Chains A and B, each alone.
Chain A
Amino acid sequence: MALTVTPDTYNFVAFDTAYTARIAERMATQLGLDDIDILLAINENSSLTRIDVTVTDALITIAPHSGALEDTRRPRQQSELNTTITIARGMLRARDRLRGGFADAPADAELTLPQAAAWDTYIMGRIAHMDIVLNKQAWVYNFRNRHGFSDAVDAVFEKLWNCESTTWAELSSLSANTVSVTA
Protein backbone atom coordinates (compact mmCIF):
# COMPACT_ATOMS: atom_id res chain seq x y z
CA MET A 1 0.00 0.00 0.00
CA ALA A 2 1.19 3.54 -0.75
CA LEU A 3 -0.07 6.65 0.93
CA THR A 4 0.53 9.94 -0.87
CA VAL A 5 -0.27 13.40 0.44
CA THR A 6 -0.30 16.45 -1.86
CA PRO A 7 0.78 19.20 -2.13
CA ASP A 8 4.32 19.04 -0.70
CA THR A 9 4.30 22.70 0.27
CA TYR A 10 1.56 25.25 0.87
CA ASN A 11 1.11 28.86 -0.19
CA PHE A 12 -2.11 29.85 1.54
CA VAL A 13 -2.13 27.77 4.73
CA ALA A 14 0.44 26.66 7.30
CA PHE A 15 -0.13 22.92 6.89
CA ASP A 16 2.51 20.21 7.18
CA THR A 17 2.53 17.33 4.68
CA ALA A 18 4.67 14.94 6.75
CA TYR A 19 2.50 15.54 9.82
CA THR A 20 -0.66 14.94 7.77
CA ALA A 21 0.82 11.75 6.30
CA ARG A 22 1.62 10.42 9.80
CA ILE A 23 -1.98 10.96 10.89
CA ALA A 24 -3.28 9.36 7.68
CA GLU A 25 -1.00 6.31 8.02
CA ARG A 26 -2.12 5.73 11.59
CA MET A 27 -5.78 6.06 10.61
CA ALA A 28 -5.43 3.75 7.58
CA THR A 29 -3.96 1.05 9.83
CA GLN A 30 -6.66 1.54 12.45
CA LEU A 31 -9.42 1.26 9.83
CA GLY A 32 -7.88 -1.72 8.05
CA LEU A 33 -7.13 0.23 4.88
CA ASP A 34 -3.39 -0.48 4.82
CA ASP A 35 -3.77 -2.83 1.86
CA ILE A 36 -4.86 -0.25 -0.72
CA ASP A 37 -3.27 2.88 -2.24
CA ILE A 38 -4.54 6.14 -0.82
CA LEU A 39 -4.12 9.63 -2.25
CA LEU A 40 -4.86 12.51 0.09
CA ALA A 41 -5.06 15.59 -2.15
CA ILE A 42 -5.59 18.73 -0.08
CA ASN A 43 -7.18 21.66 -1.90
CA GLU A 44 -5.49 24.59 -0.22
CA ASN A 45 -7.10 27.18 -2.52
CA SER A 46 -10.50 26.74 -0.94
CA SER A 47 -11.44 27.53 2.64
CA LEU A 48 -14.58 25.36 2.44
CA THR A 49 -14.94 22.33 4.72
CA ARG A 50 -15.94 19.95 1.91
CA ILE A 51 -14.36 16.49 1.48
CA ASP A 52 -14.54 14.80 -1.94
CA VAL A 53 -14.03 11.03 -1.93
CA THR A 54 -13.67 8.78 -4.98
CA VAL A 55 -12.97 5.07 -4.90
CA THR A 56 -11.75 2.44 -7.37
CA ASP A 57 -10.63 -1.11 -6.59
CA ALA A 58 -7.02 0.06 -6.59
CA LEU A 59 -7.12 3.60 -5.21
CA ILE A 60 -8.93 5.72 -2.64
CA THR A 61 -8.77 9.44 -3.35
CA ILE A 62 -9.69 11.79 -0.54
CA ALA A 63 -9.69 15.46 -1.48
CA PRO A 64 -10.52 17.72 1.47
CA HIS A 65 -10.76 21.49 1.06
CA SER A 66 -8.40 23.20 3.48
CA GLY A 67 -11.18 24.39 5.80
CA ALA A 68 -11.78 20.76 6.79
CA LEU A 69 -8.30 20.48 8.34
CA GLU A 70 -8.10 23.97 9.74
CA ASP A 71 -8.05 25.19 13.33
CA THR A 72 -11.12 27.44 13.34
CA ARG A 73 -9.69 29.33 16.32
CA ARG A 74 -6.51 30.14 14.39
CA PRO A 75 -7.33 30.63 10.72
CA ARG A 76 -4.95 29.00 8.21
CA GLN A 77 -3.26 26.89 10.93
CA GLN A 78 -3.67 23.12 10.88
CA SER A 79 -5.69 21.38 13.59
CA GLU A 80 -4.58 17.89 14.58
CA LEU A 81 -8.10 17.01 15.70
CA ASN A 82 -9.82 18.29 12.54
CA THR A 83 -7.18 16.62 10.37
CA THR A 84 -7.79 13.32 12.17
CA ILE A 85 -11.57 13.60 11.92
CA THR A 86 -11.50 14.62 8.25
CA ILE A 87 -9.19 11.78 7.27
CA ALA A 88 -11.26 9.30 9.27
CA ARG A 89 -14.46 10.58 7.61
CA GLY A 90 -12.98 10.21 4.15
CA MET A 91 -11.55 6.76 4.86
CA LEU A 92 -14.73 5.42 6.46
CA ARG A 93 -16.79 6.64 3.50
CA ALA A 94 -14.37 4.92 1.13
CA ARG A 95 -14.34 1.74 3.23
CA ASP A 96 -18.15 1.69 3.28
CA ARG A 97 -18.18 1.89 -0.51
CA LEU A 98 -15.48 -0.76 -0.96
CA ARG A 99 -16.29 -3.28 1.74
CA GLY A 100 -19.20 -2.06 3.84
CA GLY A 101 -22.41 -2.65 1.89
CA PHE A 102 -22.42 0.76 0.19
CA ALA A 103 -21.25 -0.34 -3.28
CA ASP A 104 -24.61 0.62 -4.78
CA ALA A 105 -24.68 4.10 -3.20
CA PRO A 106 -24.76 6.99 -5.67
CA ALA A 107 -21.59 9.05 -6.18
CA ASP A 108 -21.05 11.70 -3.50
CA ALA A 109 -22.23 14.49 -5.79
CA GLU A 110 -25.48 12.61 -6.46
CA LEU A 111 -26.43 12.12 -2.80
CA THR A 112 -29.39 14.14 -1.54
CA LEU A 113 -28.75 16.36 1.49
CA PRO A 114 -30.73 14.03 3.85
CA GLN A 115 -28.87 10.96 2.50
CA ALA A 116 -25.52 12.67 2.98
CA ALA A 117 -26.50 13.69 6.53
CA ALA A 118 -27.64 10.17 7.41
CA TRP A 119 -24.40 8.66 6.08
CA ASP A 120 -22.35 11.30 7.94
CA THR A 121 -24.20 10.39 11.15
CA TYR A 122 -23.30 6.71 10.69
CA ILE A 123 -19.67 7.70 9.99
CA MET A 124 -19.30 10.24 12.81
CA GLY A 125 -20.89 7.85 15.31
CA ARG A 126 -18.19 5.30 14.54
CA ILE A 127 -15.49 7.98 14.86
CA ALA A 128 -16.90 8.99 18.26
CA HIS A 129 -16.77 5.34 19.32
CA MET A 130 -13.05 5.33 18.41
CA ASP A 131 -12.66 7.80 21.32
CA ILE A 132 -11.87 10.73 19.03
CA VAL A 133 -13.21 13.91 20.62
CA LEU A 134 -16.03 15.50 18.66
CA ASN A 135 -19.10 17.57 19.37
CA LYS A 136 -22.06 15.21 18.99
CA GLN A 137 -24.55 18.07 19.18
CA ALA A 138 -23.13 19.51 15.94
CA TRP A 139 -24.07 16.28 14.16
CA VAL A 140 -27.48 16.16 15.85
CA TYR A 141 -28.05 19.65 14.47
CA ASN A 142 -26.90 18.64 10.99
CA PHE A 143 -29.23 15.63 11.01
CA ARG A 144 -32.16 17.75 12.22
CA ASN A 145 -31.53 20.35 9.53
CA ARG A 146 -31.93 17.65 6.89
CA HIS A 147 -34.68 15.51 8.45
CA GLY A 148 -36.66 17.82 10.73
CA PHE A 149 -36.77 18.98 14.32
CA SER A 150 -38.68 16.39 16.37
CA ASP A 151 -38.17 13.64 18.94
CA ALA A 152 -38.84 10.99 16.28
CA VAL A 153 -36.01 12.39 14.15
CA ASP A 154 -33.69 12.43 17.17
CA ALA A 155 -34.48 8.76 17.80
CA VAL A 156 -33.42 7.90 14.23
CA PHE A 157 -30.25 9.93 14.74
CA GLU A 158 -29.40 7.89 17.85
CA LYS A 159 -30.02 4.66 16.00
CA LEU A 160 -27.59 5.63 13.22
CA TRP A 161 -25.04 7.15 15.60
CA ASN A 162 -24.82 3.93 17.61
CA CYS A 163 -25.04 1.60 14.63
CA GLU A 164 -22.03 -0.68 14.17
CA SER A 165 -22.93 -1.93 10.72
CA THR A 166 -25.53 -1.10 8.10
CA THR A 167 -25.95 -1.03 4.32
CA TRP A 168 -26.78 1.68 1.83
CA ALA A 169 -30.22 0.16 1.27
CA GLU A 170 -31.04 0.25 4.98
CA LEU A 171 -29.58 3.69 5.58
CA SER A 172 -31.21 5.37 2.58
CA SER A 173 -34.56 3.83 3.40
CA LEU A 174 -34.34 5.00 7.02
CA SER A 175 -33.47 8.52 5.86
CA ALA A 176 -36.31 8.63 3.31
CA ASN A 177 -38.86 7.35 5.84
CA THR A 178 -37.72 9.94 8.40
CA VAL A 179 -38.04 12.77 5.88
CA SER A 180 -41.52 11.63 4.83
CA VAL A 181 -42.74 11.34 8.44
CA THR A 182 -41.51 14.87 9.17
CA ALA A 183 -42.92 16.42 5.98
Chain B
Amino acid sequence: MKKFMPVEELARDERFNQITQADRMADGRNALIGEAEKSRKSNRLTPARPDASEAARALMHGIFVGEIQALEGAGRTCWDFTTGEEAPFELKLDMARQAWDEARHVEISLKLSDWMGSEIGQYAENTVLFQAACSNDPVLRLAGVNRALEGLAIDVFTTMKEFGEIAGDPYLEFCEDWMLADEVTHVKMGSDWLRKITENDPERRKKALEFQGIVDKMFSYGGSRSDSEESSFAIARRFRELAGFTEDENDHIADLGMQALNERKAQLREKQAAVTN
Protein backbone atom coordinates (compact mmCIF):
# COMPACT_ATOMS: atom_id res chain seq x y z
CA MET B 1 0.00 0.00 0.00
CA LYS B 2 1.23 3.44 -0.95
CA LYS B 3 2.76 5.66 1.73
CA PHE B 4 2.32 9.44 2.05
CA MET B 5 -0.77 9.70 -0.09
CA PRO B 6 -1.37 13.18 -1.51
CA VAL B 7 -4.68 14.94 -0.95
CA GLU B 8 -5.61 14.61 -4.63
CA GLU B 9 -5.77 10.82 -4.24
CA LEU B 10 -8.36 10.64 -1.47
CA ALA B 11 -10.90 8.03 -2.51
CA ARG B 12 -14.45 9.33 -2.92
CA ASP B 13 -17.44 8.21 -4.95
CA GLU B 14 -19.31 10.35 -7.48
CA ARG B 15 -21.50 11.95 -4.84
CA PHE B 16 -18.61 14.06 -3.58
CA ASN B 17 -17.21 17.21 -5.16
CA GLN B 18 -13.91 18.34 -3.69
CA ILE B 19 -12.64 21.90 -3.56
CA THR B 20 -9.47 23.39 -2.13
CA GLN B 21 -9.07 26.22 0.33
CA ALA B 22 -7.85 28.35 -2.61
CA ASP B 23 -11.17 27.72 -4.42
CA ARG B 24 -13.04 28.81 -1.32
CA MET B 25 -11.01 31.96 -0.85
CA ALA B 26 -11.44 32.88 -4.52
CA ASP B 27 -15.14 33.46 -3.85
CA GLY B 28 -15.59 37.24 -3.86
CA ARG B 29 -19.08 37.10 -2.35
CA ASN B 30 -19.39 37.46 1.34
CA ALA B 31 -21.43 37.52 4.47
CA LEU B 32 -18.97 39.87 6.14
CA ILE B 33 -19.05 43.26 4.48
CA GLY B 34 -21.47 45.70 2.88
CA GLU B 35 -25.21 44.92 2.97
CA ALA B 36 -24.71 41.49 4.49
CA GLU B 37 -22.74 43.08 7.34
CA LYS B 38 -25.54 45.56 8.07
CA SER B 39 -28.32 42.98 7.90
CA ARG B 40 -27.01 40.92 10.80
CA LYS B 41 -26.06 41.87 14.34
CA SER B 42 -24.01 38.69 14.63
CA ASN B 43 -22.76 35.94 12.36
CA ARG B 44 -22.60 33.41 15.20
CA LEU B 45 -24.29 30.15 14.27
CA THR B 46 -27.20 30.18 16.70
CA PRO B 47 -30.90 29.36 16.20
CA ALA B 48 -31.60 33.11 16.26
CA ARG B 49 -30.17 33.48 12.77
CA PRO B 50 -32.93 33.49 10.11
CA ASP B 51 -30.90 31.01 8.03
CA ALA B 52 -30.05 28.87 11.08
CA SER B 53 -31.39 25.54 9.76
CA GLU B 54 -29.59 25.84 6.42
CA ALA B 55 -26.35 27.08 8.02
CA ALA B 56 -26.43 24.27 10.61
CA ARG B 57 -26.98 21.69 7.85
CA ALA B 58 -24.03 23.04 5.86
CA LEU B 59 -21.81 22.99 8.95
CA MET B 60 -22.94 19.44 9.78
CA HIS B 61 -21.90 18.33 6.31
CA GLY B 62 -18.56 20.07 6.87
CA ILE B 63 -18.20 18.10 10.12
CA PHE B 64 -19.07 14.88 8.29
CA VAL B 65 -16.38 15.30 5.62
CA GLY B 66 -13.98 16.63 8.27
CA GLU B 67 -14.45 13.41 10.24
CA ILE B 68 -13.71 11.35 7.11
CA GLN B 69 -10.49 13.32 6.57
CA ALA B 70 -9.53 13.06 10.26
CA LEU B 71 -10.05 9.28 10.03
CA GLU B 72 -7.86 9.19 6.94
CA GLY B 73 -5.23 11.37 8.63
CA ALA B 74 -5.01 9.28 11.80
CA GLY B 75 -5.04 6.07 9.75
CA ARG B 76 -2.24 7.31 7.50
CA THR B 77 -0.10 8.16 10.54
CA CYS B 78 -0.35 4.51 11.63
CA TRP B 79 0.83 3.40 8.20
CA ASP B 80 3.20 6.06 6.87
CA PHE B 81 5.88 5.85 9.57
CA THR B 82 8.14 2.96 10.60
CA THR B 83 7.27 1.67 14.07
CA GLY B 84 9.95 2.45 16.62
CA GLU B 85 12.30 4.36 14.33
CA GLU B 86 9.99 7.10 13.11
CA ALA B 87 7.04 6.75 15.47
CA PRO B 88 6.71 4.84 18.77
CA PHE B 89 4.30 1.90 18.83
CA GLU B 90 2.25 3.58 21.59
CA LEU B 91 1.76 6.67 19.43
CA LYS B 92 0.47 4.49 16.60
CA LEU B 93 -1.83 2.75 19.08
CA ASP B 94 -3.26 6.14 20.05
CA MET B 95 -3.72 7.01 16.36
CA ALA B 96 -5.50 3.67 15.79
CA ARG B 97 -7.81 4.46 18.69
CA GLN B 98 -8.41 7.89 17.19
CA ALA B 99 -9.21 6.33 13.79
CA TRP B 100 -11.78 4.15 15.56
CA ASP B 101 -13.31 7.25 17.21
CA GLU B 102 -13.36 9.16 13.91
CA ALA B 103 -15.10 6.27 12.14
CA ARG B 104 -17.80 6.40 14.80
CA HIS B 105 -18.03 10.18 14.37
CA VAL B 106 -18.50 9.73 10.61
CA GLU B 107 -21.46 7.44 11.31
CA ILE B 108 -22.94 9.81 13.90
CA SER B 109 -22.52 12.86 11.62
CA LEU B 110 -24.17 10.98 8.79
CA LYS B 111 -27.20 10.15 10.95
CA LEU B 112 -27.36 13.75 12.17
CA SER B 113 -27.25 14.93 8.54
CA ASP B 114 -30.25 12.71 7.75
CA TRP B 115 -32.02 14.10 10.81
CA MET B 116 -31.35 17.67 9.69
CA GLY B 117 -32.37 16.99 6.09
CA SER B 118 -29.24 16.81 3.97
CA GLU B 119 -27.60 14.16 1.82
CA ILE B 120 -24.09 12.82 1.38
CA GLY B 121 -22.20 15.18 -0.92
CA GLN B 122 -24.87 17.87 -0.88
CA TYR B 123 -22.16 20.44 -0.19
CA ALA B 124 -18.65 20.73 -1.62
CA GLU B 125 -15.91 19.02 0.39
CA ASN B 126 -13.03 21.31 1.34
CA THR B 127 -9.93 19.11 1.53
CA VAL B 128 -7.87 21.51 3.64
CA LEU B 129 -8.11 19.28 6.72
CA PHE B 130 -6.36 16.35 5.10
CA GLN B 131 -3.71 18.68 3.68
CA ALA B 132 -2.61 19.33 7.26
CA ALA B 133 -2.17 15.58 7.67
CA CYS B 134 0.27 15.18 4.80
CA SER B 135 3.49 16.18 6.57
CA ASN B 136 6.47 13.82 6.40
CA ASP B 137 7.28 14.40 10.07
CA PRO B 138 4.98 12.66 12.61
CA VAL B 139 5.51 15.49 15.06
CA LEU B 140 4.20 18.00 12.53
CA ARG B 141 1.22 15.72 11.96
CA LEU B 142 0.50 15.75 15.68
CA ALA B 143 0.65 19.54 15.67
CA GLY B 144 -1.42 19.91 12.51
CA VAL B 145 -3.97 17.15 13.03
CA ASN B 146 -4.30 16.57 16.76
CA ARG B 147 -3.77 20.09 18.01
CA ALA B 148 -4.98 22.32 15.15
CA LEU B 149 -7.62 20.16 13.41
CA GLU B 150 -8.98 18.53 16.55
CA GLY B 151 -8.79 21.92 18.30
CA LEU B 152 -11.00 23.29 15.55
CA ALA B 153 -13.33 20.32 16.12
CA ILE B 154 -13.64 21.37 19.79
CA ASP B 155 -14.74 24.87 18.69
CA VAL B 156 -17.18 23.56 16.08
CA PHE B 157 -18.71 20.85 18.30
CA THR B 158 -19.18 23.33 21.12
CA THR B 159 -21.06 25.63 18.71
CA MET B 160 -23.26 22.77 17.47
CA LYS B 161 -23.89 21.43 20.97
CA GLU B 162 -25.04 24.89 22.07
CA PHE B 163 -27.15 25.20 18.93
CA GLY B 164 -28.94 21.94 19.81
CA GLU B 165 -29.33 23.02 23.43
CA ILE B 166 -30.94 26.38 22.52
CA ALA B 167 -33.15 24.94 19.75
CA GLY B 168 -34.24 22.07 22.00
CA ASP B 169 -32.87 19.45 19.59
CA PRO B 170 -32.14 16.51 21.92
CA TYR B 171 -30.20 14.40 19.38
CA LEU B 172 -27.92 17.17 18.17
CA GLU B 173 -27.04 18.28 21.70
CA PHE B 174 -26.41 14.73 22.94
CA CYS B 175 -24.34 13.56 19.95
CA GLU B 176 -22.19 16.68 19.79
CA ASP B 177 -21.51 16.48 23.52
CA TRP B 178 -20.22 12.92 23.22
CA MET B 179 -18.11 13.66 20.16
CA LEU B 180 -16.74 16.75 21.89
CA ALA B 181 -15.48 14.53 24.74
CA ASP B 182 -13.57 12.42 22.19
CA GLU B 183 -12.04 15.50 20.54
CA VAL B 184 -10.73 16.74 23.89
CA THR B 185 -8.98 13.36 24.25
CA HIS B 186 -7.53 13.58 20.73
CA VAL B 187 -6.08 17.03 21.36
CA LYS B 188 -4.62 15.86 24.65
CA MET B 189 -2.99 12.88 22.91
CA GLY B 190 -1.39 15.30 20.46
CA SER B 191 -0.20 17.67 23.17
CA ASP B 192 1.27 14.81 25.24
CA TRP B 193 3.05 13.14 22.32
CA LEU B 194 4.38 16.42 21.00
CA ARG B 195 5.96 17.19 24.37
CA LYS B 196 7.31 13.66 24.80
CA ILE B 197 8.87 13.24 21.36
CA THR B 198 10.46 16.69 21.28
CA GLU B 199 11.59 16.64 24.91
CA ASN B 200 15.26 16.82 23.90
CA ASP B 201 14.79 18.49 20.55
CA PRO B 202 13.66 22.11 21.10
CA GLU B 203 14.24 22.97 17.43
CA ARG B 204 11.82 20.27 16.25
CA ARG B 205 9.25 21.37 18.83
CA LYS B 206 9.57 24.98 17.66
CA LYS B 207 9.08 23.90 14.07
CA ALA B 208 6.00 21.85 15.01
CA LEU B 209 4.42 24.74 16.91
CA GLU B 210 5.11 27.10 14.00
CA PHE B 211 3.41 24.61 11.69
CA GLN B 212 0.46 24.46 14.08
CA GLY B 213 0.19 28.25 13.92
CA ILE B 214 0.02 28.15 10.12
CA VAL B 215 -2.61 25.42 10.21
CA ASP B 216 -4.61 27.20 12.92
CA LYS B 217 -4.77 30.33 10.78
CA MET B 218 -5.79 28.27 7.75
CA PHE B 219 -8.50 26.60 9.83
CA SER B 220 -9.91 30.00 10.77
CA TYR B 221 -11.31 29.86 7.22
CA GLY B 222 -10.96 33.56 6.60
CA GLY B 223 -12.26 34.48 10.03
CA SER B 224 -15.05 31.94 10.48
CA ARG B 225 -13.59 31.28 13.93
CA SER B 226 -12.59 34.04 16.33
CA ASP B 227 -13.76 35.88 19.45
CA SER B 228 -15.57 38.39 17.21
CA GLU B 229 -19.34 38.17 16.76
CA GLU B 230 -18.63 38.46 13.04
CA SER B 231 -17.33 34.89 13.08
CA SER B 232 -19.64 31.87 12.85
CA PHE B 233 -18.08 30.13 15.81
CA ALA B 234 -16.05 31.12 18.85
CA ILE B 235 -12.91 29.75 20.49
CA ALA B 236 -14.18 27.19 23.01
CA ARG B 237 -11.68 28.18 25.68
CA ARG B 238 -12.94 26.00 28.54
CA PHE B 239 -12.87 22.77 26.54
CA ARG B 240 -9.54 23.75 24.98
CA GLU B 241 -8.08 24.17 28.48
CA LEU B 242 -9.31 20.69 29.37
CA ALA B 243 -7.50 19.43 26.28
CA GLY B 244 -4.22 20.98 27.41
CA PHE B 245 -4.12 24.35 25.64
CA THR B 246 -2.78 27.14 27.84
CA GLU B 247 -4.49 30.53 28.12
CA ASP B 248 -1.66 32.05 26.06
CA GLU B 249 -2.14 29.45 23.34
CA ASN B 250 -5.88 30.14 23.24
CA ASP B 251 -5.22 33.89 23.06
CA HIS B 252 -2.80 33.26 20.20
CA ILE B 253 -5.39 31.21 18.29
CA ALA B 254 -7.96 33.95 18.89
CA ASP B 255 -5.49 36.53 17.52
CA LEU B 256 -4.86 34.39 14.44
CA GLY B 257 -8.63 34.18 13.93
CA MET B 258 -8.99 37.98 14.12
CA GLN B 259 -6.07 38.43 11.72
CA ALA B 260 -7.68 35.98 9.29
CA LEU B 261 -11.04 37.76 9.63
CA ASN B 262 -9.56 41.20 8.96
CA GLU B 263 -7.45 39.95 6.05
CA ARG B 264 -10.51 38.27 4.52
CA LYS B 265 -12.62 41.42 4.89
CA ALA B 266 -9.87 43.52 3.25
CA GLN B 267 -9.57 40.96 0.45
CA LEU B 268 -13.35 40.99 -0.14
CA ARG B 269 -13.50 44.79 -0.17
CA GLU B 270 -10.70 44.79 -2.74
CA LYS B 271 -12.48 42.21 -4.94
CA GLN B 272 -15.79 44.05 -4.74
CA ALA B 273 -14.17 47.44 -5.38
CA ALA B 274 -12.40 46.03 -8.43
CA VAL B 275 -15.78 45.05 -9.86
CA THR B 276 -17.45 48.37 -8.99
CA ASN B 277 -14.62 50.31 -10.66
* A positions within 8 Å CB-CB of B: 11-13, 43-50, 66-67, 72-76, 113, 116, 135-142, 144-145, 148-149, 182
Contact = CB atoms under 8 A, between A and B. Distances in A.
B109 to A, nearest CB: 15
Contacts, number: 93
Given A12-B29, A72-B58, A141-B116, A50 B35 contact: no
A50 B51 CA distance: 7
A149 B173 CA distance: 12
A144 B169 contact: yes
Interface string B2-37: 000000000000000101000110011111001110
Interface of B: 17, 19, 23-24, 27-31, 34-36, 47-48, 50-54, 57-58, 114-119, 121-124, 167-170, 271-272, 275
Given A135-B117, A137-B114, A142-B53, A45 B272 contact: yes
Nearest to B276: A11
Nearest to A116: B50
Given A149-B169, A149-B170, A12 B35 contact: no
15 contacts: A43-B35, A45-B35, A45-B36, A46-B34, A47-B31, A48-B36, A73-B121, A74-B124, A76-B27, A137-B114, A137-B117, A138-B53, A138-B116, A142-B53, A148-B168
Contacts of A48: 31, 36, 51
Nearest to B169: A149
Contact of B117 (A72, A116, A140): A140
